[in-house]
A and B are shown apart, each in its own frame.
Chain A
Amino acid sequence: MIRVATDGFRHEAIGKIALPGSTILALLLGIAVYVLDRDWATTLFLAPVASYQPDSAGLFGSLGPILPSFFHAYAFSLLLILALGRARYARQIGAVAWFVVAAGLEAVQADYFHPLFISPDAQSGAWTVVSSIQIYAVNGQFDPADVAASLFGCIAAFVIASVLEVPK
């Protein structure tokens, strides 16, 4: 059977390429913010090469602080949407689910939750998954701007997925 191309089919084809591509691009841009704007010594994945950090260019200006949250939320919302594939309400579930995760992770950095994460493990100096979460929660600072950036990232993922018609 010869299948005739339709606009919907073209959108679906573009979506299959463009959506994963945009997640990769978003993740790369997020990494770029850390590499170009942040102190490597205080960033876990860059710390081993912190001594090689050149002078910061401040390339992303005032958006630098929030762009990683935006790109990260966008990328993981979209990946979730793609993983949910043809599930009903995949776009809505993917975007909302990641926003809940992102907002939760930001919230645990609030002073209010610090007592929950302070334990002898956090002071032992030994690296464990638990200690990493503790350090993340206690050393980090809750920032409403991050929550907002995550929200916009999730909304952007929802909109892009809708426009490019994620296959249902």
Chain B
Amino acid sequence: MNTFNLKDFSGVAIVLLLAIGVASTIATGGGSSGGSVSMIPPPTSDDPTLAISAANGEDVSSAVVLAIGISFDLGDITGDDLIAEAAGDTINLSAMKGLAPLYFKLSDPLAQAIEGCANGGTVDVTLTVQNPNVPTVGDRIVAVFDNCDDNLGYVISGTADLTLADLQGDVATDVFLVSFDILLTDIAVTEGMETVTADGSFTLTIDSLDFPSVTMSLVGTELQFGADGDVVTMTDFDHTLTVDAGVVPDAKLAEAFGRLDSQTLGGTVDYATSTAIQASGDIDPHTGVIVITGADGSSVRIVIVDSTSVTLEIDANGDDVIDEYIDTSWAELNKEAPVVGTGLITSENVPIIAREVFNAVTGFGSVTVAAGGQFTPTGVFGQIKQQAMSGDFGPFSVACITSGGASVSGAISAAGAFSANDQLNADFIGCTRDNEGLEGEMNVAVSSFTETSGDAYLVTGTVAQDDLLRFIDGSCHAGTGTFNTSYDFVFSTTGLVDMDSSASEFSVWSGGRSQTLNGATVNAQIMVGQQPVTVTRTSSGTVTSEDLDGSFGYVSVSPDVFLIDGDAATGPYSGELLVSGRDNSSIRMVALDERNLRLDIDFDGNSTVDEQAMTTWATLGYGDSFGICSMRF
């Protein structure tokens, strides 16, 4: 009789035991309970593949920051000004900017038109709507751009396809929610020497149900950008930007989650804001944390120190211990060309540099804000509009609201409105309005103009000024040159103006001296609904003058905030301007109160303050030292 004998099977049993033992070890992960002991064959293709180290931490951080920024720019281009334009009554085919607003101005259920862009190129727009009187989910707008230049600072080609996905509230008011599914194909946006390409799809939602707080979100599965020789792909991303325009400067809150694949970096990383990013006005964010995770748990945390400085905390081996700290700046992460000058900052020339920069910044802001203000009902261009003129007109004498006047001429294509390619010229003679005085020439080429009820309007265009003198707040400046400007006059509970101007070269005169600005930009948010008027201003550029040996860069670290109180001896009561010279030498002009400021001087560019000096705005400002403005106005 055969009997079961374990011994006969002991060899097999041993092999089986070993196999089961090994398999069960693998299946359970080997016993440890460490956080990274995931034994699931996780879809390893879903794990980030790029190992983050001290060597590439800054590049990875920069790539993520730039990609998030580009995505918001893209949302801005397609959806910006929705509020301002939604209730307008003119169709304005101004490149991609205003594509979403354009949808709400549809007049034909199915329409197709090829429009010339203001400064060359075309846009072929096809509209498919179900009911021309009622925006309906599923309505569609397809725009094919061909080198379209609408004087918005960029040229665009490619196809944008928008389908209305959601709509709540009333777009004719400030309170609504609108969502578009957007497909971009071969989009190329060229701004100066830079071209950014975009392909992919996302859902753009603009939610102003809590107006004046407006939230823009971009959610998508794949969006590819090409810029600076790199191709960056974002997948499964969710980016949200909330702008509270109820405060000045506006408060921004951003959150971003997703995955980024960079060809240049050679792999993928995951990114997430662990602390929401906060910013004010046009200044870089001042707080927030972005965590970027790479292969094997390696990571870099972007810790925002302030609106200038950023610290990168790098964990190269994924053990949750920071291996290296890298102190860097927004300028580095944004790959901005540093705004530095060629002149050297020394103990002898600090007062002169501070004076020249202050007057250049103040003058550029002052003379460039004047153009947009002429489009109010009491401005000289606003008065022409009310006369419902069209075609070539003038010159006509138009009285300024307080005293003096202007000789106004130009060409208007549509009576009672302004539109792209309108030309408006004004020669001011002793023109005063409230506390502002103007004298000299101003020529405006309109790129776009939209207005809503309550006299709110947005005008963009190119302005040429020839020695235009402006007197305000006790200071007298004259400006000569050409600049692009956007003047957004928003009426909400109190009047607010949001003005942006930029010039490649511009001359400002004040106090018998002139300064030349290059690459100058200024953003001013002006609360006009209260007295005294409050201005929040950010600036950047370089300045040269006959009193300076070389050029000096300047950039706002935090916005200048000041009152239009008619006193030339006062200046910003808060704000910080960084002035940069050769060899990283710098002066930080730190406003202490409306009369005093401190100069933190770093002569050798080692990022430490070598000397501090106290001075006053009255010392730096020329005011109306020659009395020229006092005599004119």
Contacts and interface: CB of A to CB of B under 8 A. Distances in A.
Given A136-B39, A139-B36, A83 B30 contact: no
A85 B317 CA distance: 46
A82 B555 CA distance: 80
Chain B contact residues, majority secondary structure: helix
B30 A105 contact: yes
Interface stretch (B7-15, B239-247, B272-280, B467-475): B7-15
Given A85-B7, A122-B44, A123-B44, A65 B32 contact: yes
A123 to B, nearest CB: 5
A82 to B, nearest CB: 8
A68 B28 contact: yes
A42 B39 contact: yes
Closest 3 CB pairs of A and B: A69-B31, A42-B38, A83-B13
A146 B43 contact: no
7 contacts: A42-B39, A65-B31, A65-B32, A85-B6, A131-B41, A140-B32, A146-B31
A105 B22 contact: yes
Nearest to A114: B296
A86 B5 CA distance: 12
Contacts of A149: 31
Interface in A88-147: 98, 101-102, 105-106, 109, 111, 122-125, 127, 131-133, 135-136, 138-141, 143, 145-146
B26 interface: yes
B40 A44 contact: yes
B26 A141 contact: no
Given A80-B17, A136-B39, A139-B37, 5 more contacts: A65-B32, A84-B14, A102-B25, A136-B29, A139-B36
A79 B17 contact: yes
Interface stretch (A5-13, A33-41, A158-166): A33-41
Contacts of A44: 26-29, 39-41
B91 to A, nearest CB: 50
B207 to A, nearest CB: 32
A118 B461 CA distance: 58
Nearest to A80: B17
B33 A64 contact: yes
Contacts, number: 126
A103 B600 CA distance: 62
A146 B32 contact: yes
A4 B113 CA distance: 110
Contacts of A139: 36-39
Interface string B36-58: 11111111111001000000000
Given A42-B37, A85-B7, A123-B45, A106 B30 contact: yes
B30 A140 contact: yes
A47 interface: yes
Given A43-B28, A68-B28, A132-B26, A83 B10 contact: yes
Contact of B33 (A38, A98, A138): A38
Nearest to A146: B31
A135 B31 contact: no
B361 to A, nearest CB: 54
A47 B32 contact: no
Nearest to A131: B41
A46 B29 CA distance: 11
B388 interface: no
A83 B25 contact: no
A93 to B, nearest CB: 10
B27 A45 contact: yes
Interface core residue of B31, B33, B41 (most chain A CB under 10 Å): B31
B275 to A, nearest CB: 25
Interface core residue of B10, B33, B36, B296 (most chain A CB under 10 Å): B33
